[in-house]
Every structure is written in C-alpha cells, then in structure tokens.
Chains A and B, each alone.
Chain A
Amino acid sequence: MAITKVVMPKLSEAMETGKIIKWLKKEGDRVQGGDILAEIETDKADVEMEAFGAGVLRKILVSAGEKAPVGTLIGVIAEPAEDIAAALASAPAPAVAAGAGAASSARKDTRPEAAPVPPTAPAPGQPLRPAVVSTPAPAVPAVSAGAVGIPAPALTASTAVATGRVKASPLAKKIAAQTGVDLRLIRGTGPGGRIIRRDVEAATVTVATAPVTVAAAPVTAPIVPGVEYEDRPLSQIRAAIARRMPLSKAPVPHFYVTSEVAMDRAWELREELNALEGQPKISVNDFVVRACALALLKHPGVNASFQGESIRVWHRAHIGIAVALEDGLITPVLRDSHAKSLAQIAVEARDLAERARARKLRATELSGATFSISNLGMYDVTEFSAIINPPEGAILAVGSVRRVAVVDDAGLGVGRRMALTLSCDHRVMDGAMGARFLQDVKRLLEEPLRLLV
C-alpha cells in the first residue's frame, strides 16, 4: 500500500497557514480514509482534517499548538513495515519547540507559535522557523513572503522584487482589477503556482477596515515584573490587515467629511420600537445602516469603485459592517441593504456579527461590499476616521451618541449628538459629493420616520 503524506490542507480559500489545535490520532494509531486526524485552526474557523490514506499514523511532524504553511508535510501514514525515510526526507527541519524563546516563555498569554519571520527582519526572542521562510514555489519568492504576513519595512522590499511577471489566469487578473486586489501579494494555488480565481476571491475576503485616529482599546495585559517587552505573533487576521491596509491608504487618496447628527428623535424612536413585543431589538448602528442604504441609492456616485479607466457605479447597496474581533477586524457584508427594512437589517446584521465572532462566516459573506460602516460608538469615541476598504469608494466612521449641551431657539438645552465621518476616495468623488451624501444620511437620521417607510 502506498505511503500517504499528510500535509497541511487548504481548508479555506484564504488559508495560508494553519495551526494544529490537537491531534485526534497519535503516532501508532491505525487510521482509515475519512477518519478525523486533527483539528486545525485557520484564519476563519476551526476545521477537522480528514485522513485521505489508510494505514498507521507513523509520524507526526507538527505537534499540537504549532503552525505550518499550507502544503507542509505534517505527518505520514503508512503500513508498519514500510520504510518512510524517503517521505520524511521531504519534511521541513523540525520546528523549534513551543515557547522556546526567552521572552515568550516568560508569559503565559503569549502564543507559543511564532509568526513566520523573513530572515531580513528577525525579531528578537522569537523562534525562527526556516521551514516557513522557505515557502514553496521558488518562482514567486516575494509573493509567498508577502502572503505570510510580514512587517511593514519588509513589505517595500518584497513588492519591489515582485514587480516581474505575475503568473495568473485571465479571470483572476480581471477579478483582481475589479476588486482592487494586488496580485503580487497573493500566492497561487493553480498548476505551477499560477494564481487562479479562487486565490483572488480568497484575498478579497481577508480585507478589513481599521480605524486610524482611535485604535480599538487593547486588551489590558497585567504587568509582569522583570519583562521589559514582548513580541506578540500576528494573528491570521492581524496579518491580513497589516498586508491589506497599506494597499488602501497609500494608493487611495483619502479625504474626510464630518458632520454632527442630532440623534434625539432617532433615540426616542428606537426606544419605542424596542419596547414593542415580538420585534427584534434595533441598534443605533442599524439606523445608520438603513440611512446609508437609502442615501447610497440616491447618491450612486458615493456607491462607486475606481477602476483605473472607469468608475463603476453600483445600483445596489451591499454594506460591509465592521465587526471587532479580539485579534482584528472583519467586515461581513449585508447584501442589498437598500431593499431591507430596519427590522430585517437588525436581524441580519446581528446574525452576521455573531457568526463573525464565532468565525462561522461563509466566504461569500465577506466579499462584495460596495460601501462600509465602522462604528466605534460603544467605546465612547467622539469621532474618528476609517481607512477605505478597496475597491469601495467610501467608508463611514460612526462615533458615540453623546449627551451634549445644545443651543436652539428655546435656548440652552441637552441633546443627543453623534458624529459621522465619511472617508472618500478622491479618485471617485469630490468633497461636495461626499458632503451631499452625508447631509442626506444626517437628514434621514434626524427625521427617522423616513427610515420606516
């Protein structure tokens, strides 16, 4: 019977590396095709890995808690009598044991596995894993280096190397052009490392929006005496954000428009709606989504993408709603928001957010947004601005609803105010266009009955 090499499977389209959560079989166990060998953590979900071949699990090469790039040999299945030396010869050098670094071993909450670090930027105290650095497909070295999430300084170097011919299918090139994905930063999974459609679609999935002026409050870590600093490995999502955001901020000329919205009536209406029995609970963000959806239909120029030689204007509002996760941000898409009632938006947005936190989103739910909303209202943020998520043309940053002193005809009073900041791609629209859109969003929120009809 043949020797079966167990390799890190590509369990999601976006997956580049996977982490073994645990092995369900141990060395010496007999396995059959279809048996669950191990549980694997990918950037999106925890997935069970099936055995393809039958025999005895002779060798485990990557132990629980460790990470390996897709395609790496992680185990060998063979009959007991068979010589597996040849199969093992193709294995990477044994990984440094978890927590071997001095700094990381000092801290319990440090993830034991190290993020792949290119030789040009070794981080002190981190185990260096040659197996990861020498990623496959020697024809596209820079591509693979970029694909595993490298720190900013090295990015420049790698993109410079990668300016040569990119092996990609015509369809992949076209979709990349339309969605603003940089093919040089993708690793191809087609024959000979060719970038094919699924690789590009996977790349568009990992894009997330990140606020600039206010960072999400970091998890406060207890101070450990005697440790000056620690280097935390990038989570899969953080690596994706690190990779993608410079691709937005640098090439996309951002400008910002801010407006303050009187939320008193919307607040009252929300309380009234939420007091109704049998109705879904509606959040302030649901109001904002609904207002944006209606305003986008009226201002298609804002619901648009820059395409090089043309501007694609969308007639449907697919709104990406940024959801904060512990290790990053993810932007599930509420499709056809313009055609959905407030209640429908409330139900679907909650479902998307919950599944985003559980990492249970389907790839199709993570791509195709025409506009995005990032709301940091729950963190008592006055206002902030967000980075556009290409190829979208704009993103709305939503601050907290604050009780402030207001002056109106009656004199001084107390009102609820919320700041909205629209980040716009100047290649797609001008200030006035963005301002008119924002005005409409403001009007819809200030006359919230319009959101119900």
Chain B
Amino acid sequence: MATRNVDVAVVGTGPGGYVAAIRCAQLGLSVAAVEDDRPGGVCLNWGCIPTKALLRNAEVVNLFERAAEFGIRLAGFEANYAEAIQRSRRVADRMSKGVEFLFRKNKITLVPGRGVLKSRDTVEVAGTGGNETIQAKAVILATGSEPKSLPGVPIDEKTVISSNGAVRSERSPKSIVVIGAGAVGVEFADVYAAYGAQVTILEALPRLVPIEDEEVSKELARAFRRRSIEMKTGVKVASVTPGGPGVIVETDAGKVEAEQALMAVGRGAKVTGLGLEALSVRLDRGFVRVSPRMETSVPGVYAIGDMVGPPLLAHKAMAEGVVAAEAIAGRSPRPLDYGNVPACTYCRPQIASVGLTEAKAREAGREVSIGKFPFTANGKAVALGDTEGFVKVVADKASGEILGVHIVGPEATEIIHEFAVGRTLEATLEEIIHTIHAHPTLSEAALEATLGALGQAIHI
C-alpha cells in the first residue's frame, strides 16, 4: 500500500474541510484532502448551492406570474422543473470545479476515497484508484452531516425523500408533505409550491422556523398562506406509510396524503465508520467534542463543521476550518464567537438573523428596546414590488448594545451583515444611526429599524 507523508490530512472537503485545507496550505503546510464524493461536500454539490439555484428559479417563476403587475403581457409560459434541476447541477458543478482549481493553486493533493482514522497520525483511504495510507502530523476531520429521519420511517428517496433526493430528482411532485419547518423544509416548500405542487408543511413545534424570532415566523406564515401553502404547526407525525397517491402521513391532527413526503427534521453528524471509537475520540450528544482550538480529545486530531455540533452552517464550518488550520500552524487563532453567527434562510421572503431573539433577550434578563421597520415603507422595496417583511432590532435599553437583529424580506440575507460587523466591533445603536445609508436601498430599513429602537424612526 502506498504511503503518503504530509503535514496535515483533511478528511472531507465540504466548506469546512476545503477552507481548512487552503488555510493550512497558505500557512506553509503540506496538505492531503480526502473526499469520497465530489470536492465541495454537501454544501456545494447537494445543499446550499444547488438549492439556491432552485430558489432563484422559483423566484423567476413567481415574477413571470406577476408579469402583468409590471405591465408585461405574456401569452403563457412553461416552467420546466427538470430544466431547473439541470441548471442547479451546472451551478453545483461549476462551484465544485472551483474547489478543485483552488486545491491545485494551493498545491493540495486531492485523494479520492473514504478516509478512516487508524491512529492519531494515520489516515487510511479506501480509494477508487486503490488504497493508500496518509501519514500526517495533524488530522482535521470534516465529514459533515446527513439528513435524519423520524424513528421507523426509512428514506427510500422515491416516495419518502430527503434533501439528497430532492436536489437530484428531475420530477416535481403534484403534492408533497414537508415534514419539518426549519430552513431546509421551508426552502423546498417554496420551490415545490412555485412549480405548482400542493404543499403541506408539518411542524412539531408551534411555529415555522422555530429558532427564529416569533414575529419572523408569523410573517413567513402569512406569506406562505398567501401562496396557498398549507401549514400545520404543533402536530406530531405518528407514521409515514405508502398508500393513497404515494404516501400517507398520520398525525395527531389528522392524516395528510401526497405523492411524496420530504423529511426535513434535521441533520445528524457523520461520526461512524471513521475510526473515532477505536481512538476514543470523545463525543458529546452525537457530535465530536472539541476545544476552542477545534482539537478533539485526541491531541493532534482536530474536527470542524457540522460534525462538532450546531449551528450546522457552512459559514460556521469555514470559520472553524480557519481556526483549526491556524492552531495546527502554531498560531493563536481567535476562537469563534458562536453568539454572532448569522443564520440565513432563502425562502421568499428571505430570513436572516444574528444574535438573540426578543424572547431570548428577555429570558436573559435584559431590558430591551425594540425597533421594527416594515419594507412597505421602504422606497427601494416598493420600487422592486417586493414589500413583504421587516427589519427588527433588539437592543439593550441602557447601553444600546445590539443584542439581536431579525430580518424577513427581500435580500434579508445580504442586509444582515452590517449588524454582524457592528456586533463584532461592539457598535451600539448610535454608531449604526450615524452611519449614512445610501438611498434608495433595502438597507435603509436596517437604519430605520435602528432609529426605531431609539424612538427616532423618520419614515414611519
């Protein structure tokens, strides 16, 4: 068996792994990256990126439906779902090739195959082109996560599908039950509804996107209702069985029949079959336990991304990848501020948030002041014809500290960052309001909401 000697072996090339590999290379370390699928991992190939392509399609379909509003008469149009999927594949391919390019540029060796940790400095790869052993001074595990299902409900990717099946299937169902109203659930609900499916969302908790601010959930539910998406919240799924048009979902609030069911009940860390048990790498509730430097309980073995725990977000994984790489290179990386990781959901209206929800801030005993500004009062949003939603700022009453910001509406996911930067710099409401915001922009809603928290909003 061939043996390769490197400074760092990275197992998994999703957003955490490939960023860690590149940062290691930048710091002068030799790197081998092991991947059993395509470079870029779930995010680039089967998650974030292709779904964003599909959601863009959904948005375009919706604009075509609204063409008359803009004075454009269409003799009719056909939205072909298979072609939407094909477009999303081209987008994903391009991004995956981008990772391969970056690896070449940084002289990172891509080792195709499945990596297993044999000891703290040895990774064995069962590859398509033969097996090999990688000897490394440090190992970074970045194997990510995979969709979970409900107990007793197998995912066959035909009638009961996960996001893995959903991004691959060129056939859009006439009806679908989406089980789980987190980011994955509401994004697919949006896409399927745009392509004409009768969508029913089931959520065990009392509201859509339950980790977001309550008012955001309400606004999203209102928007979905307008688009005839059915929502049942606070319901427990009892069983999912074949039958009817495809699948019958029994709940404690009646049954729902549809062609397909999409399981979007969360993701679990991929920690089995990696050799972690034999090395006694310590786990904590199914995730790998790591220090603030991302080192596991086994010295020299690092872990990053979804496999080390929530939030299961690509950008969190990337930031952790940088920390791990710098720790290995002997730098003293600044540990992540997990309280300041923005969360983005790309359904329409988009959702973005950072920091504490109003309820969490109050729970923490903070005396808060709230500023809220609707996009209906924002010139740019009106011009775009995209006025759903609002910006909500939660601040500490005494100090003006920005405790949390919750945006639902057009380009919410782009607007959020001024608050993330502000929080990193410990800006208060004052610094935001004294920053001149260009007119007309959607970001003016951020300014106005901030003014609102100080009781000084101009445009409402």
Contact = CB atoms under 8 A, between A and B. Distances in A.
Interface of A: 1-3, 32-34, 52-55, 169-172, 174-175, 178, 191, 196-197
A136 B331 CA distance: 18
Contact of B297 (A33, A52, A170, A197): A33
Contact of A53 (B137, B299, B398, B425): B299
Nearest to B291: A33
Nearest to A34: B297
A383 B401 CA distance: 42
Contact of A171 (B291, B297, B334, B401): B401
A174 B329 contact: no
Contact of A197 (B299, B334, B426): B426
A170 B428 CA distance: 6
A54 B300 contact: yes
Nearest to B332: A5
A197 B401 CA distance: 10
A2 B329 contact: yes
Contacts of B116: none
Given A34-B291, A170-B425, A171-B427, 13 more contacts: A33-B291, A33-B295, A33-B297, A54-B299, A54-B300, A169-B427, A170-B428, A171-B399, A171-B428, A174-B399, A174-B400, A174-B430, A196-B426
Contacts of A55: 299
Contacts of B299: 1, 32-33, 53-55
A2 B299 CA distance: 11
Contacts of A196: 426
Q: Is the interface of B mostly helix, strand, loop or mixed?
A: loop
Q: A-B pairs with the 7 shortest C-beta distances?
A: A54-B299, A169-B426, A171-B426, A2-B330, A174-B399, A170-B428, A33-B299
Contact of A1 (B137, B334, B398, B401): B137
A236 B379 CA distance: 58
A169 B402 CA distance: 13
B138 A1 contact: yes
27 contacts: A1-B138, A1-B299, A1-B300, A2-B330, A32-B299, A33-B291, A33-B295, A33-B297, A34-B297, A52-B291, A52-B293, A53-B299, A169-B425, A169-B426, A169-B427, A170-B427, A170-B430, A171-B399, A171-B401, A171-B426, A174-B428, A174-B430, A175-B399, A178-B398, A178-B399, A191-B334, A196-B426
B431 interface: yes
Instruction: Tell which of A2, A3, A32, A178 has the most Cβ of chain B within 10 Å.
Output: A2
Contact of A170 (B328, B330, B431): B431
Nearest to A4: B330
Interface in B422-454: 425-428, 430-431
B433 to A, nearest CB: 12
B73 to A, nearest CB: 53
A147 B417 CA distance: 35
A197 B425 CA distance: 10
Contacts of B401: 171, 197
A191 B428 CA distance: 18
B418 to A, nearest CB: 14
Contacts of B398: 178
Nearest to A7: B332
B149 to A, nearest CB: 35
A263 B426 CA distance: 50
Nearest to A2: B330
Contacts of B428: 170-171, 174
B295 A170 contact: no
Nearest to B121: A1
A412 B412 CA distance: 81
Contacts of B426: 169-172, 196-197
Contacts of B327: 2
B293 A3 contact: no
B368 to A, nearest CB: 15
A3 B425 CA distance: 31
A53 B430 CA distance: 42
Given A171-B399, A175-B399, A2 B291 contact: no
Contacts of B399: 171, 174-175, 178
Contacts of A32: 299
Nearest to B299: A54
